[in-house]
Chains A and B, each alone.
Chain A
């Protein structure tokens, strides 16, 4: 027997517990929810400028005509779609007693979200 005082197995344990598709689904669900929550105040600020006249709204919208905001917009559409798809998964588990194949369903949710994102891009946004 050889004993060492280093704890090299802890990392392996944590990795193994976090590799599960259910955990990935919950993590993505929460992160996309946070992204949407951060977006909402900016959305209301944009709408609020309309109260000060069409010109103010137009000038504010003019600020969004750049690549960074366009990319963020695509990310937002993906976040919304993935949040909805994973939310439907949770509802199906809890209300429809759906005994799912976790990895397959989570993969399907992510694929749906990116398909929606792709449609958004193809729609010429």
Chain B
């Protein structure tokens, strides 16, 4: 842990950080010294190690790769390992809550099962088909499909977009931005053999057409992805698929 200096915190700020943590129905308050380059995850870890070992939270990599440290920080869902205290708590006040729209296991740890269950419902897995080709598929880096995949492929499954989404709050069955973004990358994967099945899976009542384009997912995504535009792509493709079915039937 770094020494308690404040040269990176900025001038005119307090040296102690007041932290309020939601723990079930109660709110616990802690005071943590501010440190240079301190992240929100550092604060939670310091509380858990030095002040209250019963505090539950989740993290793994600490470098923005694993997507397990998502929390609601001062009202906004964020990845806490890459969120600096100086950027989000200039007044020395920090409120921490579990991610929205997911069942709380304890304190700041949420159950991600509903999130990943929706990935499965959206067919968010690669489907090689019954007879996969023997040779590698040739995918041009500049092809439009590859560009669409590139735009959404860096998702780390942190659940921040899912917590930010108002439609998930209103309709708990809604597949959510992350699952739909994943489905969109696979719809554009030329090797995948389940395009029609996937489009049917995301076209239901709780699928892509439920998106209201609030753009909260795009605004909050820590990786800078735009699930809103992935969902818009799915809306276009499911619309075209419906027209094709109608045309064949007619």
State A7–B212 Cα separation when bound (angstroms).
30
Nearest Cβ distance between residue B232 and chain A, in whole angstroms? Answer: 4
Nearest Cβ distance between residue B168 and chain A, in whole angstroms? Answer: 11
A26 at the A/B interface (Cβ < 8 Å)? yes
If A7-B25, A9-B95, A99-B226 touch, whether A20 touches B232 (CB-CB below 8 Å) is: no
Interface centre among B51, B100, B232, B235, by most A CB within 10 Å?
A: B232
Interface centre among A4, A94, A95, by most B CB within 10 Å?
A: A94
Residue of B nearest to A6 (CB): B27
If A16-B75, A93-B229, A99-B229 touch, whether A22 touches B214 (CB-CB below 8 Å) is: yes
Nearest Cβ distance between residue B107 and chain A, in whole angstroms? Answer: 12
Q: Please determine whether A7 and B28 come into contact, CB atoms closer than 8 angstroms.
A: no
B236 at the A/B interface (Cβ < 8 Å)? yes
Contact code string A14-39 (vs B, CB < 8 Å = 1, else 0):
01110010110110000000000000
Residues of B within 8 A of A62 (CB): none
B215 at the A/B interface (Cβ < 8 Å)? yes
If A23-B166, A26-B212, A99-B226 touch, whether A93 touches B29 (CB-CB below 8 Å) is: no
Residues of A within 8 A of B30 (CB): 1
Chain A interface size, as a band, is 20 to 34
Residues of A within 8 A of B20 (CB): 9
Residue of A nearest to B163 (CB): A17
Q: Please determine whether A26 and B213 come into contact, CB atoms closer than 8 angstroms.
A: yes
State A5–B25 Cα separation when bound (angstroms).
6
Q: Which of B100, B213, B226 contacts A90 (CB 8 A)?
A: B213
Q: Please determine whether A4 and B215 come into contact, CB atoms closer than 8 angstroms.
A: no
State A2–B27 Cα separation when bound (angstroms).
8
Interface residues of B in 186-229 (CB under 8 A from A): 212-216, 219, 226, 228-229
14 A-B pairs with C-beta separation under 8 A: A1-B30, A1-B52, A2-B29, A3-B29, A6-B27, A9-B22, A12-B74, A16-B74, A16-B75, A16-B76, A22-B214, A22-B215, A26-B214, A102-B219
